[in-house]
Amino acid sequence: MTLAILTLMICMIFNSAVHADGRPGPAQEMQMTTGKMNYRTIAHGGIVREYFVYLPHAYKKGQDMPVVIALHGYTGTATGFELETSSGFNRYAESKGFIAVYPQASYFISETSEGKPWFISSWNDLGGNHTNSPLGPMCTDASDQYPCPPECGECKRCHWTSCNDDIGFIKKLLEDLSVNYHTDKQRFYLTGASNGAMMAHRLACEYSDKFAAVVLVIGRLERGYSCTPAKTLPLLQINGALDTTVPHDDRPSSDGYYYTSTKTVSKTWADAAGCSIDPIVWSNPIVEAQGLQCMNYKLCNEDGIDVVNCLWPEGKHVWPGNIGGGGWCVGEEQADSIPQYPLCEQAPKDAKVWGTDLMWDFFSQHSQDRHESTTVSFNE
């Protein structure tokens, strides 16, 4: 084989793997399966982090697609969020046409008071490892205490989350997605449940230029550590009035911890966005059907910015519309890396989860280059 032919073959292989703009070429895409969870890893902070990517069948067309990053809660898993917490998030990725991404928080095995193995996973939202905050203690004197993550060394009272660099991990993940998948850079969205929502809150503040909108479900940052994005960003909060795990108001949780109230988050977020009027009633068919009480700040500095706070009168600490378990389980794709958890239950294929419907309805109205006001009715 001549040198010229060999050189040509090498160039052809390289060009088939990566486009000039850094996006994946056909050779790389052949390794990405549509209609299933794709397992990926990233080395960060001296440890290997994992996440899963679901590519809808429409991805075969090669068109850029919106992306939804979904973060699981405390002691949860990436695949457990998809299968149980949200009762089948991938079905929505398939029907709505978005790429769903499920990062896994760092984890370790502790013991219960009965000496049984206890799987602990959590996100370092920069607020969960403090004893005190600018607004007072982070927990009550009678609060529950949780296992100390090994990377934290010594944990003090009120400490309960990881000390790993989760912000840096997610940043690397976003870079990986942008390079290796056909993604619409103007339509990266962020959501999370419970501790995952707290992490989403933090990420929205740290990387507001990366996302088009954020939806926080049954969670937000701890008292005294709330934040606002540097770049104006649409926000939807969905919380249950009967939630005692992360109460929507200023009450301590059932285990004795304090969190920022939903009203405070909305008010500070709206102030940072320059919204000039008091919140007004926000409604759409999903809100009306579920009897939600939603308020929206409007007339902000940037057109199309919505800062919405929805209270679910009958809601507890679950993903709205959930019909399955809490996500303390794994899918088959994650069973090898987390053998301590049982396999998740499969939600019915025809399950309708109104919380996910509401989330996507909100996301679909916003992009970084064209913020649109959501199609809703307003009443003073």
9 burial level (CB within 10 Å; 0-12, 13-18, 19+): exposed
pLDDT surpasses 50 at 25: no
pLDDT surpasses 50 at 85: yes
What is the per-residue pLDDT for 252?
98
Give DSSP secondary structure letters for 124-175: --SSSS-SEETTEESB-TT----PPPGGG-S--TT--S--S-HHHHHHHHHH
Confidence band for 44, pLDDT divided at 50, 70 and 90: very high
pLDDT surpasses 80 at 1: no
pLDDT surpasses 70 at 93: yes
What is the per-residue pLDDT for 99?
98
Give the integer Cα–Cα distance in Å for 351 and 321: 9
What is the per-residue pLDDT for 370?
63
What is the per-residue pLDDT for 286?
97
What is the per-residue pLDDT for 31?
55
CA atoms within 13 A on the CB side of 34: 15
CB 97 within 8 A of CB 157: no
Percent of the chain, pLDDT > 90? 82
Confidence band for 369, pLDDT divided at 50, 70 and 90: confident
Mean of the per-residue pLDDT values for the chain?
Answer: 89
Catalogue all structural domains in the chain, each as residue range(s) with its CATH number: 1-31 (no CATH), 33-108+119-126+168-379 (3.40.50.1820)
Q: Give, to the nearest 10 degrees, the angle between helix 166-180 and helix 195-206.
A: 70
pLDDT surpasses 80 at 169: yes
Pick the range with the lowest mean pLDDT from 2-6, 187-191, 194-198.
Answer: 2-6
What is the per-residue pLDDT for 197?
98
pLDDT in tens, 95-150: 999 999 999 999 999 999 899 999 999 999 999 999 999 999 999 999 999 999 99
CB 191 within 8 A of CB 214: yes
Pick the range with the lowest mean pLDDT from 33-37, 49-53, 117-121, 303-307.
Answer: 303-307
pLDDT surpasses 60 at 260: yes
Q: 117 phi and psi, to 5 degrees?
A: -60, 140
Read off the pTM: 0.90
What is the per-residue pLDDT for 219?
98
Q: Cα 361–366–371 angle (5° rounding)?
A: 140
**pLDDT: is 50 or 11 the higher one?**
50
Give the integer Cα–Cα distance in Å for 161 and 153: 12
pLDDT surpasses 70 at 10: no
Q: Cα dihedral sign for 356, 359, 362, 364?
A: negative
pLDDT in tens, 207-255: 999 999 999 999 999 999 999 999 999 999 999 999 999 999 999 999 9
